[in-house]
């Protein structure tokens, strides 16, 4: 059986954060992307793909992630934002991919247990297109897209993105109750990082990882 792909989305412009989110680190200095890659490999996702902003230095990130089998891409359609990153990531995958586990860089709190829940739910319900954790009535991250839903993405970027797509196809959406409030956390600003970790954000150095 083919494995689900794992896509880390880190291609946003990061205006509110002030530095590229792709460079964010945990308080112990571990880059978000390294820990996320490790967990995707642990739950047997493959391929594992990292979508970076255009100013990222691909060879530097390759060295950072060595020896993990990670494919790196850029968002071909930045005007489509998240959808553009997903479409770019799918180009790195085979056509028989059962689906894609999508993990935004600014939502780094998922556990292997949650990733496995999403993968198991998707594999057991292939007719359902979208799965996400739910906490107190709100959907969180990461989320899983089944193969049955992927063909809807090609026009979604120009038609309001993933949220509008979910409203258009409610029968294809499944929210999984998950008792962990941090699935709702999005680290969009230094203040968000401070609230989550009780300290100012830590980043990889802009050089050599990004070019001006």
Q: What is the pLDDT of residue 120?
A: 97
Which secondary structure element, helix H or strand E, spans residue 195, and what is its range?
Answer: helix 190-197
* pLDDT per residue as tens digits for the range 123-171: 999 999 999 999 999 999 999 999 989 888 887 766 667 888 888 888 9
Q: What is the pLDDT of residue 85?
A: 94
Q: Is residue 1 scored above 60 in pLDDT? A: no
For residue 203, the SS3 value is strand
Q: Angle of helix 58-65 relative to helix 32-42, nearest 10 degrees? A: 60
Average pLDDT value for residue range 70-93: 91
Average pLDDT value for residue range 107-133: 96
pLDDT band at 205, cuts 50/70/90?
Answer: very high
pLDDT band at 71, cuts 50/70/90?
Answer: very high
- Number of continuous H segments (helices) and E segments (strands) in the chain: 8, 10
User: Helices in 142-186 by DSSP H: which ranges?
Assistant: 147-150, 161-168
Neighbouring-strand partners of residue 144: 101, 131
Neighbouring-strand partners of residue 131: 144, 174
Output the average pLDDT for the chain.
Answer: 93
Q: What is the pLDDT of residue 163?
A: 84
Q: What is the pLDDT of residue 21?
A: 95
pLDDT band at 179, cuts 50/70/90?
Answer: very high
């Amino acid at each position: 059986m083919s494995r689900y792909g794992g896509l880390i989305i880190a291609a946003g412009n990061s205006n509110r954060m002030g530095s590229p989110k792709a460079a964010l680190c945990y308080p112990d200095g571990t880059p978000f992307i390294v820990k996320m890659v490790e967990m995707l490999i642990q739950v047997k996702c493959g391929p594992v793909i990292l979508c970076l902003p255009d100013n990222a230095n691909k060879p530097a990130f390759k060295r950072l992630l060595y020896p993990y089998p990670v494919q790196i891409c850029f968002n071909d359609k930045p005007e489509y934002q998240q959808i553009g990153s997903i479409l770019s990531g799918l180009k790195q995958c085979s056509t028989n991919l059962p689906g894609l586990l999508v993990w935004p860089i600014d939502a780094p709190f998922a556990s292997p247990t949650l990733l496995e829940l999403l993968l198991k739910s998707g594999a057991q319900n292939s007719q359902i297109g979208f799965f996400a954790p739910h906490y107190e009535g709100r959907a969180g991250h990461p989320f899983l897209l089944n193969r049955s839903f992927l063909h809807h993405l090609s026009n979604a970027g120009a038609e309001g993105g993933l949220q509008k797509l979910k409203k258009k196809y409610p029968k294809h959406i499944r929210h999984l109750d998950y008792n962990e409030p941090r699935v709702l956390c999005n680290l969009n600003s230094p203040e968000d990082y401070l609230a989550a970790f009780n300290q100012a954000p830590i980043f990889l150095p802009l050089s050599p990882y990004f070019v001006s």
